[in-house]
Amino acid sequence: MHPKPDQYQELRDALRDLCKHYPDAYFRGIDAEGTYPEAFIDSLTEAGWLAAMIPQEYGGSGLGLTEASVIMEEVNRNGGNAGACHGQMYNMGTLLRHGSEAQKQAYLPRIASGELRLQSMAVTEPTTGTDTTKLRTTAVRKGDRYVINGQKVWISRVQHSDMMILLARTTPLADVQRRSDGMSVFLVDLHEAMGNGLSAQPIRNMVNHETNELFFDDLEIPEDNLIGEEGRGFKYILDGLNAERTLIAAECIGDAWWFLNKVVDYTSERTVFDRPIAQNQGVQFPIARSYVNTEAANLMRFRACELYDRNEHCGAEANMAKLLAADTSWEAANVCLQYHGGFGFAHEYDVERKFRETRLYQVAPVSTNLVLSYVAEHVLGLPRSF
């Protein structure tokens, strides 16, 4: 079974023990009902897995993005979908890296215990996707509060969060020197905000992913909820995006292992014309190719993790890891579906569910073309296209 044992085997074994309690049928049922895997996420939380990156002094395990990525990989490798919970792993990073000591004391221990779920990050808007600096949601200071107005879209896990990270413009675009200035990050208490200036509209979608449209209408939040300095929020968010992309790369690697294990087992057993179909090189080679690509993408994923954990720039590596891993999981998904034939389309084989789930990562959290654009302009220094 892949991946092969590595230095994180102890974590992998412990996670597989936990995941054994949540077999494919569990996730199939959650998908069919369009519900949230509460019991599974509760087990992960209770066993401390989602607090891996929170320092020990705040109640977590003080591990790096590398170990966190192994956790997410294993969730997907064992048939689950870490998209339901990866926000809890990395969103607190904004608070940890840029919050005040008082904010960290107030929230991190409760996030570590799972009492507070900080699973959402509200950046994307209907009219400004990746063009983040043009976002229109504003935060205007009024006494000791900020008043928020605007709209966000594709904001995940809001229905299963207590707190949310919000990026809003505090200084109008026209008044800043650099367009990345003038945005600020806030912590929003969702229980207080809902119905008091914030409303959420769930968006039904191709995969069972809980995501929403958010409307801010004079939502007031205390000034204490500003994270870091006013106007520097965009930089804070970028760190979080690199963590998110790298974790999602690991999830794609986990998906790829799942598809590869599944297709190797199936094609070795499925007998047509008196021999297993895997005996045909026409079947073997695409599977082998997919394996090679997965191993390669996995190296870039660990490279991105390593840089992030050393606090070095990892924008290029995080983006490249996400692109390669998403491509390889999609390739593995196609191979797996193809060689399952008609059975691949049957819900009970779980291939179609994982196929839909992993397809998302060609698009989210940053689309393949925008990764290429990043590499072209920021790594290769080609002329800017936008």
Partner 1 sequence: MKILVPVKRVVDYNVKVRVKADGSGVETANVKMSMNPFDEIAVEEAVRLKEKGVAEEVVVVSMGVSQCQETIRTALAMGGDRGILVETDDELEPLAVAKMLKGLAEKESPDMVILGKQAIDDDANQTGQMFAALMGWGQGTFASEVDIQDGSIQVTREIDGGAETVKLKLPAVVTTDLRLNEPRYAKLPNIMKAKKKQLDTLSPADLGVDTTPRLKTVKVAEPPKRQGGIKVADVAELVDKLKNEAKVI
Rounded Cα distance between 348 and 343, Å, is 8
Cis peptide before 365 (omega within 30 of 0): yes
Tokens linked to 4 = 């092969």
Q: Which of 2, 26, 48, 334 is the binder for partner 1 (CB under 8 A)?
A: 48
For the chain, how many residues are written?
Answer: 386
The answer for 341, left when phi > 0, alpha when psi is -120 to 50, beta otherwise, is left
Q: What does DSSP say about strands 226-227 and 183-189: parallel, antiparallel, or unpaired?
A: antiparallel
Tokens linked to 159 = 């229905």
Question: Considering beta carbons, is residue 49 or 234 the nearer one to partner 1?
Answer: 49
Determine the size of the site formed for partner 1 (CB under 8 A).
19
Instruction: Return the residue matching tokens 């808007």.
Output: 125
Instruction: Answer yes or no whether residue 348 interacts with partner 1 by CB under 8 A.
Output: no
Stretch of 15-23, 198-206, 311-319, 324-332 lying at the interface with partner 1 (CB under 8 A): 15-23
- Minimum CB separation of residue 322 from partner 1 in Å reads 25
Rounded Cα distance between 158 and 189, Å, is 11
Nearest one of 91, 283, 260 to 190, comparing CA atoms: 91
Question: Which residues lie below 8 Å from residue 243, measured CB to CB, with a gap of 6+?
Answer: 65, 90, 93, 308, 318
Q: Which of 6, 38, 42, 46 is the binder for partner 1 (CB under 8 A)?
A: 46
Question: Considering beta carbons, is residue 67 or 295 the nearer one to partner 1?
Answer: 67
Instruction: Answer yes or no whether residue 5 interacts with partner 1 by CB under 8 A.
Output: yes
Residue pair 354/339 in contact (Cβ under 8 Å)? The answer is no
Stretch of 54-62, 237-245, 304-312, 325-333 lying at the interface with partner 1 (CB under 8 A): 54-62
Question: Which residues lie below 8 Å from residue 269, measured CB to CB, with a gap of 6+?
Answer: 276
Out of 73, 74, 125, 244, the active site residue is 244
Question: Considering beta carbons, is residue 229 or 265 the nearer one to partner 1?
Answer: 265
Reply yes or no on whether 244 is catalytic.
yes
Q: Which of 26, 61, 194, 215 is the binder for partner 1 (CB under 8 A)?
A: 61
Residue type (1 letter), 256:
A
Instruction: Answer yes or no whether residue 51 interacts with partner 1 by CB under 8 A.
Output: yes
Instruction: Answer yes or no whether residue 278 interacts with partner 1 by CB under 8 A.
Output: no
- Minimum CB separation of residue 50 from partner 1 in Å reads 9
**318 to 347: interface string for partner 1, x by CB under 8 A:** ------------------------------
Tokens linked to 132 = 């983040």
- Minimum CB separation of residue 17 from partner 1 in Å reads 4
- Minimum CB separation of residue 326 from partner 1 in Å reads 27
- Minimum CB separation of residue 49 from partner 1 in Å reads 5
Tokens linked to 20 = 């054994």
CA 196 to chain centre: 28
Instruction: Answer yes or no whether residue 89 interacts with partner 1 by CB under 8 A.
Output: no
Question: Any idea which residues carry the catalytic annotation?
Answer: 244
Q: Which residues bind partner 1 (CB under 8 A)?
A: 5, 10-11, 13-14, 17-18, 21, 46-49, 51-52, 56, 60-63
